[in-house]
Structure 1
Amino acid sequence: MAKMMGPRFKMCRSLGLNVVGHPKAMDRATNTTSRDSKKLSDYGTQLLEKQRLRAYYGVLEKQFAKYVHKAFKAGSNPGPIFLSALETRFDNMVYRMGFARSIRQARQMVNHGHFLINGKKVDRPSYAIKVGDVISLKEKSQDLQIFKDNMELSTDYPYLNVDRDKLQGTLIRMPERDELPIEINEQLIIEYYSR
């Protein structure tokens, strides 16, 4: 299975944005190392924004393009549509519910088969979570300390209902654009794919 590899902090510095969520990711960043510090053309700005969003969700180019093209077919305002599709990926939902400290860690946990969706084992990080789906830990995995530690550090999101005692969470509605904790201008990405 293909996934984004390579030095995470170096990627954050070159993109000029902390896309991995680690508190020390931008410590060594200077104004001269990031791409957004240089004067960019319109195309360069759009490309940079696309690369930032791809890096944030850990999605490769081909899969990312599929999300965008599906959003173009779905409606007149594709920006929020493809953002909510990325946000409701299985690995991202595991991260948002607090089971993992990063999307990369959540992806690994999903691959290792620690989670159930509506009582059935799913180990595909790109699985699209639907409204009402319940994500829970397998019985064998509930004793692992890492999940309990991560849950204590988690934050709440209005579109999720997380039961920390039962170690499970539910997507209660699709996320609104202003609820997503990402610093991205999706209009630039739409313009990039509209060329």
Structure 2
Amino acid sequence: MARDKSPIVKQSRREGFALAPKAHKIMAKKSGIPGQHGDMRVRGGSLYLTQLREKQKVRRLYGLLEKQFAKLMKEAQKAEGLTGEILLEFLERRADNVVFRAGFASTRRQARQLVSHGHFTLNGRRVDIPSIRLKAGDKLEVRAKSQKSEYFKNLDNIVAASGVTPLSWMKSDAKKMTIEITGKPKREEAEAGINEQLIVEYYSR
């Protein structure tokens, strides 16, 4: 499946939002849309454009294609509860996001690669689908074969360097190389700077 493989910093500048930790420092030095005439392409701040940019920002933040994101939104609209919060819950429960949020990868893009390359088991069975949605009681574990790789041998240091904040809905152990889902993602623990209501309004047009 096709992916947007453009540099994450370039994507971040386009959205005006750091899509990965390494983008923070660079964005502090540079501003505006990337490209020689980037700032000249900034349009008026209409409500539609604001909604569109928020949708694009969140879609790129979690690394989804347009069709994937739209499909997830449709599912969220059919579920009981606040559509925007349900959408964020679905995004947070993706296997690749869980690996990233546990600090087992430095970016969601890297986490997606780790999952898609089959380095994890889910409840004892090999998993290679980054989009699979985890629920309370599920357990991700680095496969025995992968534990011998240099990357996972250094997992303790990788997690320590990530500076991740422990989340109430998961329990991770870098030494045991496990991540357990203990509950549902909370809205206040989602990525800062997201206005999910703008996305709901965009798809409600």
Normalised by the size of structure 2, how large is the TM-score? 0.88
What are the superposed Cα offsets for residues 12-65 of structure 1, whole Å, 9 maximum, x if unpaired?
A: 112111012214341442257579x75310100000000000010000110001
Instruction: Tell me the equivalent position of 2:48.
Output: 43
Check whether the contact 1:160–1:173 (CA below 8 A) recurs between aligned residues: yes
Aligned counterpart in structure 1 of residue 112 of structure 2, from 83, 107, 118 = 107
Report the Cα offset of residue 4 of structure 1: 2.1
Instruction: Tell me the equivalent position of 1:172.
Output: 182
Distance in 1 between residues matched to 2:2 and 2:72, nearest whole Å? 17
Distance in 2 between residues matched to 1:69 and 1:161, nearest whole Å? 30
Distance in 2 between residues matched to 1:144 and 1:158, nearest whole Å? 29
* Counterpart amino acid of residue 117 in structure 1: L
Instruction: Tell me the equivalent position of 2:30.
Output: 29
Structure 1 unaligned blocks of 5 or more: none
SS of alignment partner, residue 53 of structure 1: helix
Report the Cα offset of residue 77 of structure 1: 1.2
* Counterpart amino acid of residue 26 in structure 1: M
Report the Cα offset of residue 76 of structure 1: 4.1
* CA RMSD of superposed structures (Å): 2.0
Distance in 1 between residues matched to 2:39 and 2:29, nearest whole Å? 11
Normalised by the size of structure 1, how large is the TM-score? 0.92
Report the Cα offset of residue 161 of structure 1: 0.5
* Counterpart amino acid of residue 197 in structure 2: Q
Distance in 1 between residues matched to 2:39 and 2:133, nearest whole Å? 33
What are the superposed Cα offsets for residues 119-165 of structure 1, whole Å, 9 maximum, x if unpaired?
A: 10010111111111000000111123323132222422121111222
Matches within 5 A, 1:9-158: 9-22=9-22, 23-31=24-32, 33=38, 39-147=44-152, 148=155, 149-154=157-162, 155=164, 156-158=166-168
Check whether the contact 1:14–1:34 (CA below 8 A) recurs between aligned residues: no
Distance in 1 between residues matched to 2:21 and 2:72, nearest whole Å? 22
Distance in 1 between residues matched to 2:12 and 2:126, nearest whole Å? 33
How many residues are treated as equivalent by the alignment?
195
